[in-house]
């Protein structure tokens, strides 16, 4: 066996997964286990695919999830590197499982539902999944930390990874560092009335309540970002509810009509039963839920499960391309 870490980002902030300290701890852990350590550099491709895509998505009115784009990239590279070394399989630290169905590899939920990462892996190609092993899939994170500590591994006390590993100071500051400058625009209510002003629609997220800087007689939430008009649409919480969601860039590994499926619309949200799926051109789907979901965010992933196994997914589209609010 040999060990490898993919370096994705050149930053030196210790909260980043690719900080010099994190790389050093990975090297020390490999040495402690008697493994040859390799550092695989993928910084250029990561910046072009993940980082540039992250910035462009925010400016376009979406809320991207960079992990969904990163995992297919780096896992395919690790499989490629394993081929260079003549190694058949690649084991990673994901809290998920590999499930074989009809001769094809799928992702299954990990046993530790508090750390389950299957949602982040829906875009990994089946041919890559077939080469992967997830030894932590049946483990809990506290138990893994305890075993690592008993083996005196340097990564035993590794901090939890950041939501956006390349933006440890927050995505707003990161966007500013990439040239996304303030752009004043209107905050409008559902009746079209202007109720305030913002400094850039990308500084807000769907469902956000605090920090709007407006006076209202009842709690007010961001309902939508309108990049074409540089507007924020705000309103009451009940207006966030949606029973339909439109998806683009769909991967279908057995969705059928939606019968028996659940769909997860945010990383830490509960999966909801699917009522039915309607198919449209250009790899688009319209998903009808059995119960409303608060604020599906364009750019986030909708991941479908059948018996805790991922059978497809897609990217939630902008509001003017999809989900109706309220009930059908």
Would you name the residues annotated as active-site residues? Answer: 70, 165
Contact 42, 10 (CB under 8 A): no
Contact 116, 109 (CB under 8 A): yes
Contact 312, 255 (CB under 8 A): yes
Buried b (16+ CB within 10 A) or exposed e, 50-70: bbeebbebbbebbbbbbbbbb
Contact 294, 300 (CB under 8 A): no
| CA gap 275, 102 in Å, rounded | 25
Separation of CA 19 from chain center: 21
- Strand ordering across the sheet containing 194-198: 194-198, 185-189, 231-235, 221-226
Query: DSSP letters of 148-203?
Result: HHHTT-GGGGPPPPPSSTT-TT-HHHHHHHTT-----EEEEETTS-EEEEES-GGG
Q: What is the CA radius of gyration of the chain?
A: 21
Read off the DSSP letter of residue 260: T
- Token pair of 307 as six digits: 């018996």
| CA gap 79, 75 in Å, rounded | 6
Query: DSSP letters of 103-144?
Result: TEEEEEE-S-TTT--GGGGTTS-HHHHTTEE-TTTTS-HHHH
| CA gap 260, 273 in Å, rounded | 7
Residue 156 has a CB neighbour count (10 Å cut-off) of 16
């Amino acid at each position: 066996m040999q060990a490898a870490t993919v370096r994705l980002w050149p930053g030196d902030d210790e909260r980043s997964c690719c900080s010099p300290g994190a790389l050093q701890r990975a090297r020390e852990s490999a040495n402690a286990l008697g493994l040859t350590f390799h550092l695989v550099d993928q910084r250029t491709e990561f910046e072009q695919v993940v980082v540039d895509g992250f910035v462009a998505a925010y400016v376009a009115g979406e809320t991207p999830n960079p992990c969904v784009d990163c995992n297919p990239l780096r896992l395919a590279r690790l499989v490629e590197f394993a081929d260079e070394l003549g190694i058949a399989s690649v084991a990673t630290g994901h809290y998920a499982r590999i499930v074989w169905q009809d001769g094809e590899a799928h992702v299954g939920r990990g046993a530790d539902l508090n750390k389950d990462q299957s949602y982040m892996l829906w875009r990994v190609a089946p041919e890559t999944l077939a080469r992967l092993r997830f030894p932590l899939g049946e483990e809990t994170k506290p138990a893994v930390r305890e075993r690592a500590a008993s083996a005196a591994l340097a990564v035993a006390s590794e901090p939890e990874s950041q939501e956006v590993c390349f933006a440890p100071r927050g995505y707003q500051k990161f966007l500013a560092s990439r040239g996304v400058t303030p752009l004043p625009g209107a905050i409008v209510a559902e009746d079209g009335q202007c109720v305030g002003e913002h400094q850039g629609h990308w500084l807000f997220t769907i469902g956000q309540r605090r920090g709007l800087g407006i006076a209202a007689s009842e709690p007010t939430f961001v309902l939508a970002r309108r990049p074409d008009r540089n507007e924020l649409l705000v309103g009451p919480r009940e207006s966030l509810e949606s029973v339909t969601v439109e998806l683009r860039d769909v991967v279908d590994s057995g969705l059928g009509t939606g019968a028996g499926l659940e769909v997860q619309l945010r990383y830490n949200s509960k999966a909801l039963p699917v009522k039915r799926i309607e198919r449209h051109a250009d790899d688009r789907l319209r998903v009808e839920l059995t119960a409303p979901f608060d604020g599906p965010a364009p750019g986030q992933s909708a991941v479908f499960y059948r018996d805790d196994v991922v059978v497809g997914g897609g990217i939630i589209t902008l509001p003017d391309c999809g989900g109706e609010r309220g009930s059908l």
